[in-house]
Structure formats: structure tokens, C-alpha cells
Structure 1
């Protein structure tokens, strides 16, 4: 049953039967099927929640009780068995809201069953046609399957149910945006003109950043957001988030781009361990295909994972100028990170060869993984690319560029389609990252005193930068200056009390001094407030070491 095609088939079967039987309240069979589905995809806790809710709604269903009892047995969970009868009685008296449809929608979206997801939402709307929450979900799901006219109908219904002036403005802006997505540019611009004329004084107050946002695609993990400027523009930038960003924050480079009179199309992700393997190039472009012709100037921009995506997805946009900084996808089986090596990689191992575009690719040739990936893959896929070298910038190229004071200039020149200059090497002295990366290179070649001088300069330039603080302690350990290690580690813990690496480095210093007991004490204390596998593993290793002594 764990075969992907079988899972897809089961998801479709559940959704279709619910629609055919018009289950406004899920039947016990539906609960059993959804629970079984979660069990097959190794989400047993969700399978249990589904069954618990099912029993709340169908307390006399022997099948549901048997299935839940079986799951408890598989998990060897005696406590839950004991709680079972009291929980059933309590839930029958104090019923909780049904979350069945939310959980079903989660599975439908992740399996790209967008039409079925919309159909179930439509079924729910038949009973509650003015429910604001359902209307908003219907809008999102209609957009995900490019049913733009249907999305506008839902927006118009939502508008009738809204009395708040700010919400009315936002809904009117979104109606214009959906027209744009459908290629109806005259209607879209007419709607924006209406908003400007009727609500002109309110727009700057409602939109502090100058943008209305609309989620135009969402499969539960990856999403695409359309940001429409309240000011007229014929330029659009497709942005792609870096490895540490999720959709809880603003899109990549939002602070710079919002001042550049551009609209944005931003690929986002729900969690930091999503590498957009759930999204194809075809799905990405299908979402924006009708919108793109409106824009006279088109750009794509990203760094690291975002740099990879700017090339992989951005290259689908006709006549698009691309700026990719240190492009790399950590899930790639050949050029990814060992930590993330188990992530499933569904994209092509090599980007399609594209001789039509001339992307600008900025990277550090001294960064081993980036250099190997760009030399063996990217240069072959984009033979006309313009490669800009920033030696000892490391993988975090935007940080380096920001520190030397040229990031805004580089982005401005890119958007103005001006050549990117060779920036003065004297600017290196301003960058903490440059000194840190160079210190790492010296440490690798056992030049510890040089490394210490360089990392001290890095800390001087950025006194709270955790990576430089950690590197300084590591170099001092190599130099056997343990007292200084301990002093600096304690200072770093005060600055970054939630970072496990400084507790581990402090314990390493104590071990190097021959005081394993104190090292264990440090880690035991840290374990109370920090959830870290590294701390647990280190602690276990030290305790094992103590037993061998």
C-alpha cells in the first residue's frame, strides 16, 4: 500500500465517495479510510486523531473502536488503551469541532488532487454558502486549478458578506489580481483604477509595504504568492526563498525589491526541510502563464536554494533575466548536504540545457560544493551564463555583499539591466564573512595562528555573529588554549543561550583539559532547556567514555 500510485488511488477514492454520497457529516467508513490512508503514509498519530474524532461522531461503531484499539496495540501504548473509554464518554458529552475535512484536504493537496479538493469545498459551501472561512478556502483552491472565473464569483460573494472597509479594499484588489492571472489585463487594470479612485487615501494606510498578496498556488507544502503593487508597474520579479526562510516571513529580498516599483511572484515553503521537490517546472509556470505576458520586464532572483530555483523555475519564464547567488539544492543526491541527503529528489539531476538565456551567477570558486556543482552542472546547462566570482565570500554570498556595501548596488544594476562591475578587492576588509571563510581555509591547512588572527578580525567586525564565535573557539581548541576556549564559550552562551553548539564546544574544552565530569555537567544542564540530538549524542558518548575509564 505504500506504493505512491496506490496512495493516489486511495485518496481519490475517498474524495469521490464523499462527494457522491454528499457526506456533510463524514460516515464511519470515511473515518476508517482516512485513518488507514494516514497509517499507510507513516503518520500514525494523525491516523489515531482521525479515529478518535470518528468515535466522537459515531460512538457505537464497532469498526472504529476496533481500528483504534489495533493502532494502540501496534504502538504498544497501554496508557491510551486505559484512557480510551473515559475519553469516549467525555467526547460524547463535550463534542469538539470536526476536523475531518481539514485532514482530508491536507492529503488531497499533498497528492495534487486539486480538483477533488475544490469539489469537496464546493459541497461544504452548498450547506453554508456565506461561510467566510469556506469562501476563502474555495478561492485558494479555485486558484490552484486556475479556475479564475470561479474564484472571482467567490470573491464577489465574500464582498457582499463584508462590511469592514479595509477588507472591502483588499477584496477589490484581489478581484483585479485574479483578472490579471486570467490574462484579462484590461479588466484587471480597470479594477485597480477603481480602487485608486475610490480608496486612494486609504491605500497607503492599508498597505504599509505597498502590496496586496494573493496565494495563487498551494499544495500544502510549496506555495506561490502574487504580490501586486498598489502603484502601476510593468515589471515583475520572481523571487525564491533561501534555505532558512519559510512562508511565515516576508519573501526573499522583499526589503530591497519593495522600493523598486515591481510586482512579485514568490515561491514559498511551509517548512525549512522542504526543497520544492513537490513542485514541477510545469506546475510552476502553469500557475503564472497567463499573467506573465502583461509584464514588459521579467526578472528572477534568489540565493542558495533560491538561486537554484531562480534557475530551475525562473528559466521557464520567457525573456526572463536571472540573478542566482550561490545556487545549490541541499536535497540533490550528488551535490547536496549529507544531513539532508535522505530527502527525496524528484527534479531532473541536471537542469535542462538552455542556450537562450544569459543568467548572472555569483559564487565563490573557493567554496568546494558550489564550485563542483557549478562546474559540472550549471555551466553545462546555461552555457551563456555570466559568472561573477567573489573569492572567500563562502556560500552566503548575499551576506558578504551586504557587509562590503554593494548588495543594493548589485541588485539595482541587475534590475536596471546594467553590467555588474568588478567591485574593489579592498572592500574585503569590511566583511566578517570574508575573514571567517578565509580563517576556515587556513584552519584546513593547519595554519592555526593565521586562522586565529582572521577569525578575531571577523568577531571584531560582527561581535555577535555565532559562526565566527564558534570558529574562534574551534581554532583555540586546535591551539590547545583551553582556558580561553572556556571563557569565550561561556560568553557565547550568554549571547546565544539556545544554540547547542556552544554548549558542545564548552564541553569539548573541559574534556581537553581532562575534566569529563564538568563536561557532562554542562551538557546535562543544557539538555534541560534545549532540545538537541547533538547534545544528547555528545552526552551519551561522554558517559560511555567515563564507563570505559
Structure 2
């Protein structure tokens, strides 16, 4: 069976969603902005369903469509979920940002969203996510008009099934001629440091950590095979490396000293005092993260570092 979006339009007041489905199937949808649900349209057996909702020009919205093949008799595991990024133009024209799966295996999924920008962000999701989770920073990155390559792992895999060779084969060709940035926090921050040299990217890593690393001895990951090599033995980027961390967080500071500093001794280590391991969430709560990322993209690293230093004391 095939279920998918057929047409999406907006008249300034109503978002109209037309789908391809069979007669036994009904569908519902959510509209989200920056990961927050704005409104919901309940299940309908019609091919067309409309939702009255105000949408802002230029913002990136997520449309989440739920298909129930047997209508109300469908159990949760049988639902088909589709996610589409879109934005609205000045004359209410809608632009769907196409999804291109670059690579997928049982434990890894790499998806590209190309907006024709000369800047490409490669993001890695954190530990408690899977292949269906939202892309880390995706709404913000796409709203800025930048390209996004989103890397997901499945369950507790910790990206150990993503080799440097696979990353080079499938991701590097998409970064040729682009200003490239690696972006992530915790496991995602570690992954940016580990893979960033392959695409010679500017690396923005928050509280990098790899719980499955043998030196961490984390009991939750004792059954996961550690397959990566030390970061110091990977190919290094020639671009700036920014590591945001709370110097008072002992586990983070220890990991950085053992594994990050030997690889990138000249990195910018930006202290976020009191940020805990969740440094990126702390910066979001302080209203600092978006401007910090914009400054780093625009080569204003002094402004980014100064802003955080003053705000966090």
C-alpha cells in the first residue's frame, strides 16, 4: 500500500492537504513550528482536508501526516507517519523542502534537505533518539535558508555502525563547493568532532560525549560494540573547531581532556558556566543559541564567545 502527500496549498487562511490513499484509509495531520505543535486536524476519510491556521512568511513548518490503513481499527504500530518541511512565500505560495535519503541501514539514516544554499549543516542527533526523531536544529537551520544533512542512529547504536568510509562515500560529495558545518550536542557533538575532518567542516560541538567509549564504562551500553578509532587518529579539519561546555561538569571535562584536546589542541573551548551537560538547552533558555550559531557562520567568533562569557558570568 502507498500513502503520501499529493498536494499542499495555502490561501492565506486555510492549509489544504491532499493525499494519495485508498478508500479504507483515513488520515490526520499536525502542523508544528520549531518543534512545537500549533494545531491538529483530526482523521478524515476524504482525500482533501483543510485546517484554518495563520502561517508566517519564511518560517519553516513541519507537517506530520498520520495514515490509518484500516481507519479506526488500525492499531498504533500500523500507522504510517510522513513528515514534510515547508514554508510560505509572500504570495501564499508554498515551498516544500524535498527529502533525499542519502544512506540507510538498520541502525543509521542520513537525509538531505537541499535549499540550494552555499552553506550546509550536518547535524547528528543525541543519545535518546532514533531514526524517526526530528533532526537536531533542523527547523532553525532550514529557516535560515541553509542546507541540512541530518544523521540519525537507531536506539542505542551510538553511531558505531557509521564508519568514516561510509560517511565519506555518501556525505562528502554533497558538500563539495559548500561552506560546511558540523553541529550537535553530547553524542551529536562527539560525532561532529569524529567525522568533521572528512568534509573539512567548521565544527560546533556542545558537551561532546560518547557513552559507549570503553573509558566511560557506561553500564547501559555494555552490550554495544565500540567500533570507532580515537578522534586524534581521524582526519582533521582545517577549519575552526568550537567546543561549548560547562567546565564544572566533571564527566564532560574529563572526556574533553582525554579525547578532544589531543585531537584539537587549538580548538576554541568556550565555557558555559552552570550550563551542565545540557549546554545547548541552557543557551536556548537564555536566548543565546541562535545568535551564537549565526555569529560562528559569519566568522564573528569573538562576538559569539563574548556573548556567552558575559551572559554566563
TM-score bracket, shorter-length normalisation: 0.5 to 0.7
- Name the counterpart of 1:253: 137
Q: Distance in 1 between matches of 2:239 and 2:124?
A: 18
Is the aligned partner of 1:222 residue 2:108? yes
Displacement after TM superposition at 1:243 (Å)? 1.7
1:357 and 1:385 in contact (8 A); partners too: no
Relative to structure 1, the CA distance from residue 332 to residue 400 in structure 2 (aligned partners, 3 Å threshold; closer, same or farther) is same
Match of 2:83 in 1: none
1:309 Cα deviation after fit: 0.6
CA contact (8 A) 1:321 1:358 kept: yes
1:266 matched to which residue of 2?
Answer: 150
Instruction: For 1:144-543, list aligned pairs within 5 A.
Output: 204-205=93-94, 207=96, 211-229=97-115, 232-271=116-155, 273-295=156-178, 297-318=179-200, 320-335=201-216, 337-352=218-233, 354=236, 356-419=238-301, 420-423=304-307, 427=311
Deviation at residue 425 of structure 1 after TM alignment: 6.3
Partners of 2:131 and 2:93 lie apart in 1 by: 24
3-state SS of 1:258 partner = helix
CA shift in 2, pair 1:310/1:204, >3 Å: farther
Q: After TM superposition, give the deviation of residue 424 of structure 1 in Å.
A: 6.1
Computing the radius of gyration over CA atoms, which structure comes out larger, 1 or 2? 1
Partners of 2:226 and 2:242 lie apart in 1 by 25
SS in 1 for 2:183: strand
Q: What is the Cα deviation at residue 248 of structure 1?
A: 1.6
Identify which of structures 1 and 2 has the higher relative contact order when contacts are C-alpha pairs closer than 8 Å and 6+ apart.
2
Query: Would you identify which runs of 4 or more consecutive aligned residues in structure 1 move more than 6 Å?
Result: 200-203
Instruction: Give the superposition deviation at 1:357.
Output: 3.7
Structure 1 portions without partners, runs of 5+: 1-163, 165-199, 430-549
Aligned CA distance change for structure 1 residues 389 and 247 (closer, same or farther; 3 Å)? same
Distance across 1 between alignment mates of 2:92 and 2:212: 42
RMSD between aligned alpha carbons? 2.6
Structure 1 position 356, deviation (Å)? 3.1
Distance in 1 between residues matched to 2:180 and 2:272, nearest whole Å: 26
* Structure 2: gaps spanning 5 or more residues: 1-46, 48-88
Cα displacement string for residues 15-50 of structure 1 (whole angstroms, at most 9, x for unaligned residues): xxxxxxxxxxxxxxxxxxxxxxxxxxxxxxxxxxxx
**What SS does the aligned partner of 2:103 have?**
strand
Higher helix share: 1
Could you say what secondary structure the match of 1:277 adopts? Answer: coil
CA shift, 1:282, in A, is 1.1
